[in-house]
Structure formats: structure tokens, C-alpha cells
Chains A and B, each alone.
Chain A
């Protein structure tokens, strides 16, 4: 992972950290995530920032025991794909979550690198 910024993604993490999480929506109601100019579903270019629902549901998860080097000190850790309705998000989460657990999106830090990390916390 390099040190340069990622315009669009960094601002999205800032917004989540400030409690203003959002997703992008096209005129046809398709949800997507930044950086994004064009709806991946229909090709429309006019995307609007819409507040992300506060609660999502764990759709699947895994406990990673063999990590990449950038997560060496974090392992074992749980990652999950969480359904927020218009979009799904992937992040680390509290151990012991199950499919169907209600969570919300926060920002934390990797224990290994100190990088910002999307994290789901139980509601």
C-alpha cells in the first residue's frame, strides 16, 4: 500500500468518521460507492450523495487467521460484508458477530499499519 491519497475514497472515509456516511445514487435509484463518475448498473453520470442507512445487517463474515503482511498484528480478525440496502460494504468487525447481526459503519485503525479502516460495530 502506498502513501498517496485516493481522492473520493479518502473523503468518504472522512465522512464516515464524522458520522455523515453516504453512498452514491443515480437517477434510476442504483446505489454505488466513490470514487465513481458513472453508475455501474446503468451508465448514468449524474450521481448524488445520499445518507447511508445507519444500520446494516451482516450478510457473511470470516475470521482471518492467515493475514497479508499489512494485517500481521491484527490477526486473527473478523471481516464481514454488510448489507445496508442500496449498497453493501466490506470491513473489519467485532469478533462474535453472526449472519444477521445489526451493525453500523465506523472508522478505526489497523493495529499493524495505523491506516484508517472501515469497521462495523454492533448496534
Chain B
């Protein structure tokens, strides 16, 4: 089985770009990934592309071939939809294809256009990631669902809104030097606690923003990288995916995310590592409480212990295991279908040493990217390692 190298990565700016089409966003991200990779467009054998709500936002289905065209490649193209984990599952498919010898060079990525729908329209669109009959019709919004999980967590393990505020403050701080980020502004714990409520106990500063953006990466086999003399120092050494019941009410745990636990277990086993080997992580913090669930699912903390990690300074850039050096979904932004690949992009740069926050982890060799769909009914985890 061949190894999988990350030959090149690219991102658009994440933010409010309501006039820009999805195809234009993806074209820019892929152009940057190709320029970073040294791989020829002609060599790409597949596109795996993540997008969640293109039908609602742009009246556009069948986005695979559209995006292959936008990226300037002639290859079969498939769109993956797993809510916020859409491009996480696209990466996983690409990794499997390269390992199996199905392809030597694959373009992966994702894009989402959201701001053109406005806040109410986006709230309605995001809700389709939940169970229509049993959750959406009961008034559940995406923030509302995470609020239900936050309250369940507080009940079971303790923790407070202030603990969550520290996560938002940390991720905003991390985003300060990241020019791709939607928010490059410092916030305080007091500001976070005073922000308007969205769904109690979650306020505005507990939530990721509404974001337009795209991400892309060119993945190649070890052999391809060698033959073409590519500078591709980071490999994907583990991929895992987990699943859970669609609706929260059907879950065994309301304060844990077993789908991500399964994904992490599988990815760690493939890479031959355990949680203690991870130097740095990008996790799916669509809401502050989601970062807590991620830290525990990744086994960085026992259940109930992750809530205080940011407050204690353990996941900040100066901590033992910095989490979301990109700014996370909270500050970098969350263009839903682009998020999984954007985590891969950020982590690749962090490990290569060309990310604005690489200096926080100069010796980092192993990174993890955790991407979650809906209320973690879908999850992928990828392990990235600097080649020996």
C-alpha cells in the first residue's frame, strides 16, 4: 500500500462574499493548491468535492462536474454531502483511492456560499442537517441542537458559560495573524459572556459565523511525488470515519460524540499513534461546546475534563497541545462544505512551517484534523505526519 502525500494546498479568504459564486470560490482555492503543488492539471485522475447546501444557496445541484470544470481538470468528479463533514469524507475517499493504487493524483476540496441567504435563510438551510420530522419541525435550529448538547454536558460533567467563553477567546486570538480568517479581532471573556443569546446557554460568541469560502488540496502517491521530484513533506497516515443516529434523541450520549471517538480510534490505529503523540490539532468547533466534545472524542481528555482546557491554557498557542491554531471554525469561519479540507490545508501549513502560527509548534511532527457533520452523526478524523 502506497503512502499519501499532500502535494499542495489552497484556500480562499473566508468571510462575507455574498456576490461570489461557488464555482468562482472553488476555482480560486484549486488554483492556489495547484500552484503550491507542482502537479499538472492533466495528471489529476479524480475530483472529490464537498458541498452541503448548494441547492438552497445557489439552486445548483450536480456540482462535481461543475467544479472540475472550474478547476480546469478533465476527470471524473463526485460531490460528497455529509453536512459539515462533507469535505472530510471527500478527503477520506481520496486517501483510499491513492492507497489502493486507483489513482496517483487527486484533487480534493469543498466550497460553500452562504451569506447570500442572510441569517434567517442560513438558519433554515443549516437546519436540514437535522432530522426534519423529529427535530426541525420541533423548532430545533443548528445552534439549538448544540445548545441541547451543551446543557446536557453541564448537567452530566459540570462546566460553565465562562469555560466556553475561554474557547472563543482562544480561537479569536489564534486567528489574529491568519489572513484567511473571517475574524482577525481580539475578544474578551466579558464580551463573550455579554453577547446576545442565540440558543441558551449559547450566545453569539459561542457560534461560528456565516461564511463563504473554498478550500482545495492535491493528494498524490509516494511514487508520484518521488518521480516528479515534488516537495511534499507532509503525509496523511491515518483516516477514520464514524457514524451515529441522525437525531439527538436517538443517541446513547447527549454529552459525548461517539462517532468522532470511532473515527479517531480508526485513524490513530492506521497511523500507529495514540492521543499522546499528537502535537497539534484542528477540530470542528462550530460552537464552543463542540470543541470540548472534540477534545474528549480525540482522547486528549477524559469525558468531563475537556471543558476547562482553554481556561487552563492547555489548548492555547503556548499550551501543551495547541488546538485550532487557524482560529478554528469560530474565528476562521465555517463555509460548511469547505471546512474539512480547510482543516487539512491549515494543518499542512502548520506542519510544513509556513503557517503564520507555525512558530507556536516549531517541533510539531504529528497533527490531527477532526471534522464533524450535523450534531456529530458523521465524523472524520485524519492524522497528518511530517515525513521522516
Which residues 97-128 of B sit at the A interface, judged by CB distance below 8 A? Answer: 119-121, 123-124, 127
The reply to whether the CB of A115 lies closer than 8 angstroms to some CB of chain B is yes
Contact for B254 among A40, A64, A81, CB less than 8 A: A81
Q: How large is the interface on A (under 10, 10 to 19, 20 to 34, 35 or more residues)?
A: 35 or more
Q: Are A60 and B148 in contact (CB under 8 A)?
A: yes
The prevalent SS among residues of B at the interface is helix
**In the complex where A70-B124, A71-B139, A90-B134 touch, is A64 in contact with B144 (Cβ < 8 A)?**
yes
CB-CB contacts of B123-149 with A at 8 A, as 1s and 0s?
A: 110010000111111111101100111
Contact for A65 among B127, B135, B199, CB less than 8 A: B199
Q: Which residues of A contact B (CB under 8 A)?
A: 1, 6, 9, 32-33, 40, 59-72, 74, 77, 79-81, 87-92, 99, 110, 115, 117-118
The reply to whether the CB of B197 lies closer than 8 angstroms to some CB of chain A is yes
**A79 to B124, alpha carbons, bound, how many Å?**
16
**A108 to B359, alpha carbons, bound, how many Å?**
57
The reply to whether the CB of B248 lies closer than 8 angstroms to some CB of chain A is yes
Q: Are B134 and A79 in contact (CB under 8 A)?
A: no
**In the complex where A74-B139, A79-B139, A87-B249 touch, is A65 in contact with B151 (Cβ < 8 A)?**
no
CB distance from A90 to the nearest CB of B (A): 5
The reply to whether the CB of B189 lies closer than 8 angstroms to some CB of chain A is no
**A59 to B255, alpha carbons, bound, how many Å?**
11
Residues in B with CB closer than 8 Å to A59 are: 152, 254
Q: Are A65 and B149 in contact (CB under 8 A)?
A: no
**A81 to B283, alpha carbons, bound, how many Å?**
26
The reply to whether the CB of B276 lies closer than 8 angstroms to some CB of chain A is no
A-B pairs, 7 with minimum CB distance: A62-B147, A88-B249, A60-B152, A63-B200, A68-B124, A60-B151, A62-B199
**A92 to B254, alpha carbons, bound, how many Å?**
18
B126: nearest residue on chain A (CB-CB)? Answer: A68
Which residues 256-304 of B sit at the A interface, judged by CB distance below 8 A? Answer: none
Q: Are A63 and B199 in contact (CB under 8 A)?
A: yes
Q: Are A79 and B140 in contact (CB under 8 A)?
A: yes
CB-CB contacts of B182-208 with A at 8 A, as 1s and 0s?
A: 000000000000001111111000000
Cβ contacts A to B, 8 pairs, < 8 Å = A60-B152, A61-B151, A64-B139, A65-B196, A81-B254, A89-B134, A91-B139, A99-B155
Which residues 141-194 of B sit at the A interface, judged by CB distance below 8 A? Answer: 141, 143-144, 147-149, 151-152, 155
Q: Are B200 and A88 in contact (CB under 8 A)?
A: no
**A89 to B152, alpha carbons, bound, how many Å?**
15
